[in-house]
Amino acid sequence: MPEAHALISRHFQADSGVLVFGEQVSLDAIVAKYGTPLFIYDARVLDRKYASLRQTLPSNFSISYSVKANPSQAILKHFLEKGCGLEIASSGEFLQALQAGCAPESILFAGPGKTEAELELVLAKGIGEIHIESALEVERIAMISQRLGVMANVAIRVNPTGEALGGAMRMGGQSTPFGIDEEELEAIVDRICSHPALTFRGLHLFSGTQILDYVVLVSQYRKGVDIARRIVKKTGNPLHTLDFGGGWGIPYFGKEEELDTQQLTVGLDELFSEIRDDPDFTGTQFMVEPGRYLVGEAGVYVSQIIDIKVSRGKKFLIVDGGMHQHLAASGNFGQVIKKNFPVCLVNKLDEPMEETVDVVGPLCTPLDVLARGIQLPVATVGDFVGVLQSGAYGRTASPLHFLSHRSPPEVLVKEGEAKLVRRRGTYEDLTSDCV
């Protein structure tokens, strides 16, 4: 079975060849009402992924959804209702988190290059924890906290030494702007503990995204536990928090397999049962902050075929969406080799794959390709192309303004209803910030 079809049977349904969301709402009805291009999310898939994460982790873990994966208010509220906290990386994400109803103390702020204005904003509102990414940041947070007369809860993001790494995009284990090098950890802990305006809360390890191998995740978690123990021995107190970051992957390409959550459970249970009664971890809150794993599979980006042409023997389906709305699918969001996301004709799911085509967007650049050399049923103008696995790092990680198209809306299918959760941009939006 072609991979896109396998994903559809896993997460969605089809009726007479047309994609159906939430078991009841057909793609036809959604595009008739909201037009194309657009992003559609299925709340049942969000629920399934959340349940899978919960079941896989030991029961004493807490979960903070990583806002950067998909900052839509509806998505944030969905996870807040389940009791998640939020992980943010900017003041813009902080304000969106508050607007979704998140208590400031349930927010963690990680990421390099936090400005004074950003730190002042979050400290004044009483943020849960700030994750230190540099020595200078320690001084900056201390200075602002003193000025405001508040205590700042800080944890250290650790850039571990080279073992236990993996994933598609590494953010640790080498020279990196992220976190404090493991070798320098003790000196930074001393600096934090000596400062009256700072409370040292814990450690945060996050070295890479899109990890599909459970062995890599278990060894990263073990590394986190080992580093934590080292710091506990130094300070003489258990950590308040030990954050293992995000990074759980989903399959996008070719023969990629789903993360084996059964094996991951076995590995994590073994690790955490070893330390269950260890006084070094008494009272420590273990946590994760995933994005992609929770939302990636719930989203489909749908565009409509506007034109079909053959150039020197190669067939192109030209659609009304493209890389400006879904940069990742075009292979230009940190992907070394351009591989196709799972793509299909979402109104012809029961037709045989009879032709090889490129699916391209309307931008004036050869980079604007949603799929290269893929097999699809014979397409006609007006058909709909769906890019699956588009719920994370889709709209939010795209250069929406390039070529001045209106930004795409987002629809959440929940409890049998398709609700518009972000409207389509207007032409006025394109000039409203010009002075």
Q: Which span sits near ligand PLP by CB under 6 A: 7-15, 61-69, 146-154, 330-338?
A: 61-69
Rounded-to-10 torsion of CA 285, 291, 292, 295: 110
**C-beta neighbour count of 279 within 10 angstroms:** 9
Question: Percent helix, strand, coil in the chain (nearest 5)?
Answer: 35, 25, 40
Q: Which span sits near ligand PLP by CB under 6 A: 53-61, 132-140, 291-299, 323-331?
A: 291-299
Contact call for residues 58 and 394 (beta carbons, < 8 A): no
Contact call for residues 71 and 49 (beta carbons, < 8 A): no
Q: For the CB of residue 122, give the shortest distance to ligand PLP in the complex, in Å.
A: 15
Closest CB to ligand PLP among 66 and 241?
66
Show Cβ contacts of residue 121 under 8 Å, excluding neighbours closer than 6 positions.
Answer: 91, 94
* Beta partners for residue 204, in sequence order: 157, 243
Closest CB to ligand PLP among 51 and 381?
51
Contact call for residues 239 and 284 (beta carbons, < 8 A): yes
CA nearest neighbour of 66 among 330, 387, 329, 287 = 287
Q: For the CB of residue 112, give the shortest distance to ligand PLP in the complex, in Å.
A: 9
* Of positions 87, 93, 118, 368, contacts ligand PLP by CB under 6 A: 87
H or E element in which residue 6 lies:
helix 3-11
Site for ligand PLP in 21-50 (CB under 6 A): none
Site for ligand PLP in 362-401 (CB under 6 A): 392
* Of positions 201, 292, 326, 405, contacts ligand PLP by CB under 6 A: 292
Q: For the CB of residue 314, give the shortest distance to ligand PLP in the complex, in Å.
A: 35
Contact call for residues 332 and 367 (beta carbons, < 8 A): yes
Is 359 strand, coil or helix?
A: strand
* Of positions 50, 206, 281, 384, contacts ligand PLP by CB under 6 A: 206
How many CA atoms lie within 13 Å of 18's alpha carbon, on the beta-carbon side?
A: 11
Contact call for residues 313 and 262 (beta carbons, < 8 A): no
Q: Assess 209 for contact with ligand PLP (CB under 6 A).
A: yes
Q: For the CB of residue 157, give the shortest distance to ligand PLP in the complex, in Å.
A: 7
- 138: which 2 tokens? 């320690």
Closest CB to ligand PLP among 91 and 146?
91
H or E element in which residue 376 lies:
strand 369-376
* Of positions 31, 38, 63, 69, contacts ligand PLP by CB under 6 A: 69
Q: For the CB of residue 390, give the shortest distance to ligand PLP in the complex, in Å.
A: 14
Per DSSP, 391 falls in state: S
Closest residue to ligand PLP, based on beta-carbon distance: 246
Q: Do the strands 343-345 and 384-387 form a parallel or antiparallel pair, or are they unpaired?
A: antiparallel
Helices (H), 248-383: 261-274, 292-295
Q: For the CB of residue 172, give the shortest distance to ligand PLP in the complex, in Å.
A: 10
* Of positions 128, 173, 247, 408, contacts ligand PLP by CB under 6 A: 247
Site for ligand PLP in 143-202 (CB under 6 A): none
Closest CB to ligand PLP among 36 and 389?
389
Q: For the CB of residue 45, give the shortest distance to ligand PLP in the complex, in Å.
A: 16
Closest CB to ligand PLP among 247 and 321?
247
**Per-position x/- string for 98-127, each x denoting binding to ligand PLP as judged by CB under 6 A, each - no binding:** ------------x-----------------
Q: How far is CA 345 from CA 349, 359, 388, in A?
A: 6, 11, 11
* Of positions 26, 36, 56, 66, contacts ligand PLP by CB under 6 A: 66
Residues that bind ligand PLP (CB under 6 A): 66, 68-69, 87, 110, 206, 209, 245-248, 289-293, 392
